[in-house]
Amino acid sequence: MKTINNPFILALKAHNLTVEIHHHAAYQVVLSNDIPFTSTINGKLYEGIHGFLIKPQIAHFCTAEKGSLNVLNIEPYSTIGLELLKRLAPGENHLIFHSPMEINTFFQTGEETFDIYSIIDALLSGLPVVHYDERVTKIVDYIKVNYFRQDITPQTFADIVFLSPSRLAALFKAQTGSSLSKYLLWTRLRQVIYYILSDKNRSLTDTAYDTGFYDLPQLNKYMYEMFGMPPKALKLNSDLIQVY
């Protein structure tokens, strides 16, 4: 299986998905693998659709009782989140895709059939090329290995690259579009979801501690804010079968 090499995309594949009304802080792209589905967005019902894109904090739910859906959660202030914002008209808070062709046209894949990797590759290819400062790369490498540490502070990062916390924060945001704290949070949440989906017997409390959260309530808070569901809902829904 291919992997998605962008830390600000958290992608899941789900079968027989039914989600209650919720909202969250991430951009979300939901795309059908096969069968059209039903969704309600901002109180309006859409039936027989193949996908949607919504801005953060837009209330919605969807039902796909027989098919499978790809759910892409995207950090709104990252470069990829800002690219999605540019594709929405002023005042537009969501887009509906009525066919696979509409999906491919929007994401400029050049394909005739649906392929989630082609869609993500096309979206990433539109981002500006960034030659990352070695200090940013050093911080990213540090987080990759040490995300579980609860004692990480802005000063921790500053000491690694010999910059003040404020200068490092400005450099990191200029190059990634995201704050350091959000990058660390996304790294932790990606690992949380991997643990939940790969080991159903692992306790959520252990998962919280092992990914750098102080306790399960703190993990619940951030999961709900970012993705609109607590980790328990993800753990108990066995049809959410795959994390990309």
Domain holding 73: CATH number?
A: 2.60.120
How far apart, in whole angstroms, are the C-alpha atoms of residue 170 and residue 177?
10
Do the domain assignments include residue 242? no
The H-assigned helical ranges of the chain are 79-86, 100-107, 116-125, 134-146, 154-161, 165-176, 180-198, 204-210, 216-227, 231-236
Instruction: Look at residue 18 in the predicted model and tell me its pLDDT.
Output: 66
Contact 75, 81 (CB under 8 A): yes
Asked if 13 and 121 sit in the same domain, the reply is yes
CATH of the domain at 155: 1.10.10.60
Give yes or no: residues 88 and 184 share one domain.
no
Pairing of strands 9-18, 27-32: unpaired
Domain co-membership, 98 together with 142: no
What one-letter code names the amino acid at 105?
T
Claim to verify: residue 94 and residue 14 sit in the same structural domain = yes
pTM for this prediction: 0.82
Averages of pLDDT over runs of 10 residues in the chain (244 residues) are 72 73 83 88 92 91 80 86 89 93 92 87 84 93 94 95 96 89 90 84 93 95 82 67 60
Q: 85 and 155 in one domain?
A: no
Give the residue among 146, 234, 133, 226 at the shortest CA–CA distance from 184: 146
Q: How many domains does the chain have?
A: 2
Do 35 and 67 form a contact (C-beta atoms < 8 A)?
Answer: yes
118 and 217 share one domain: no
